[in-house]
Amino acid sequence: MKKFEGLGRRMSDTMEIMKVEDLCKIYGRGEAVVEALRHVSFTLKKGEFAAVIGESGSGKSTLLNCIGALDEPTSGRILLDGQDLFAMAEEERTIFRRRNIGFIFQSFYLIPELNVEQNIIFPLLLDYKKPDARQVEEILEVLGLQERRRHLPGQLSGGQQQRVAIGRALIAKPKLILADEPTGNLDRKNSQEVMELLTKASRHYQQTILMITHNPNLITSVDRVMRVSDGVLSDLGGNVNEKLS
């Protein structure tokens, strides 16, 4: 696999790319009410690779869905590059989301009718933009999918499918990539490869990534770890292994 050399952008340590302010999400009513997120606030800097860990049902997926504007919070604000996601109209938010947020899902969610290359450039196609052939070539090379560019998702292994999903998340150079248990459906070797790719993307593209996982082994290479427990977020900082132990 090719390194990300030459693709890198200048990193600005201080540039705040995302700000979550006092985020609450409540499901249900009356006695069945569930507070999935309680007054969550944090910021992410440009190029930061952060992980959110937590037990199943702790609220980490809810947090990711709200940040990705897939789910609407009950209260609070999410600012991406200074823009309030939920102050926009639905159509505007969708367009903003596909230009500024890349998604990597546990179940990949590739379009079965599109081949590897088409799946990668899908966000650009939705924007009616002509993809830069050099950039596409570079991503295919980095992901090790050049040979399989004409393959359909059904003809790929799980690890390859997830690599396509990473390529799709990177192609539009979004301000933020959200990865929801990206290795949840993969074996150990493929999980390792995917994590390497994400880390490289973060380092060399200075791509901001927020990943949620319940696997403590995956967070060794991230810059910062946060934990969600019963809807409350606590920042564990950068020196993860020490704090987790």
Partner 1 sequence: MKNYLNLISISAKIHRRQTRMTRWCIIISVFLISAIFGMADMFLQSQKNLAVMTDGAWHVMFRELDEEQMTLLAARPEVKTAVRYAAANYKLDMGYSVAGVQTVLCGFDESFFEIYPGARLLDGGFPREEGEALVTESMRDREGLCVGDIVEVTAPDGSLSFRISGFVEDTSMLLQTDAFGVFMNIDTYMSCFRDVTRKEDIAYYVEFVPHCRIQKAIRDICSQLCISEDMVSENAKLMGSMMQSSDNYIMMLYLAAFILAVLVSISGMMMILGSMNSNVAQRTEFFGMMRCLGATGKQVRRYVRMEALSWCLKSIPQGLLGSVVMVWALCRMLQLITPTWFREMPAWGISWPGMGAGLAISLLTVLLASRTPARKASAVSPLTAVSGNADTVFAAKRAAHTRWMHVEMALGLHHAAGSRKNLILLTSSFAFSIVLFLGFGIGVDFMKHAIVSLRPDTPDVSIVSSENTGAIPDSLIARLKENPEIERVFIRAASEGMPDEKGKMILDIQLRDLSDDVVEEIRSMAGEGYRFSDSRAKNRETRAVYFSFALFVYGFLAVVALIASFHIINSIAMGAAARMRQYGAMRAIGISVRQLQKMIAAETFAYLFGGLAEGLILGLPIHYYLYRWAITGRWGDVWRFPLPECLVIAAVMTVSALAAMTGPVRKIRGMSVVETINKR
Instruction: Give the binding site for partner 1 (CB under 8 A).
Output: 65, 68, 70-71, 90-91, 94-95, 97-99, 101, 103, 105, 107-115, 118, 122-123, 125-126, 128, 150, 152-154, 161, 168, 185
Tell me whether residue 118 or residue 208 sits nearer to partner 1 (CB atom): 118
Tell me whether residue 19 or residue 149 sits nearer to partner 1 (CB atom): 149
Minimum distance between the CB of residue 110 and partner 1, rounded to whole angstroms? 6
Tell me whether residue 94 or residue 234 sits nearer to partner 1 (CB atom): 94
Minimum distance between the CB of residue 169 and partner 1, rounded to whole angstroms? 9
Find tokens 């030459």 and name the residue.
6
Please give the distance of CA 162 from its chain centroid, rounded to a whole number: 12
Bridge partners, 235 (sequence order) = 226
* Whole-number Å distance between alpha carbons of 182 and 191: 8
Minimum distance between the CB of residue 154 and partner 1, rounded to whole angstroms? 4
CA distances from 170 to 36, 85, 101, 103, 119 (A): 29, 20, 9, 9, 12
Tell me whether residue 45 or residue 149 sits nearer to partner 1 (CB atom): 149
Tell me the pairing of strands 75-80 and 83-84.
antiparallel
Q: Which of 65, 82, 84, 83 is nearest to 73 (CA)?
A: 65
Tell me whether residue 24 or residue 70 sits nearer to partner 1 (CB atom): 70
In three-state secondary structure terms, 80 is strand
Minimum distance between the CB of residue 136 and partner 1, rounded to whole angstroms? 13
- The residues, any chain, with a CB within 8 Å of residue 129's CB and separated by 6 or more, are none
Q: Is 144 left (phi over 0), alpha (psi -120 to 50) or beta?
A: left
Minimum distance between the CB of residue 220 and partner 1, rounded to whole angstroms? 27
Minimum distance between the CB of residue 104 and partner 1, rounded to whole angstroms? 10
* Whole-number Å distance between alpha carbons of 212 and 230: 15
Tell me whether residue 128 or residue 242 sits nearer to partner 1 (CB atom): 128
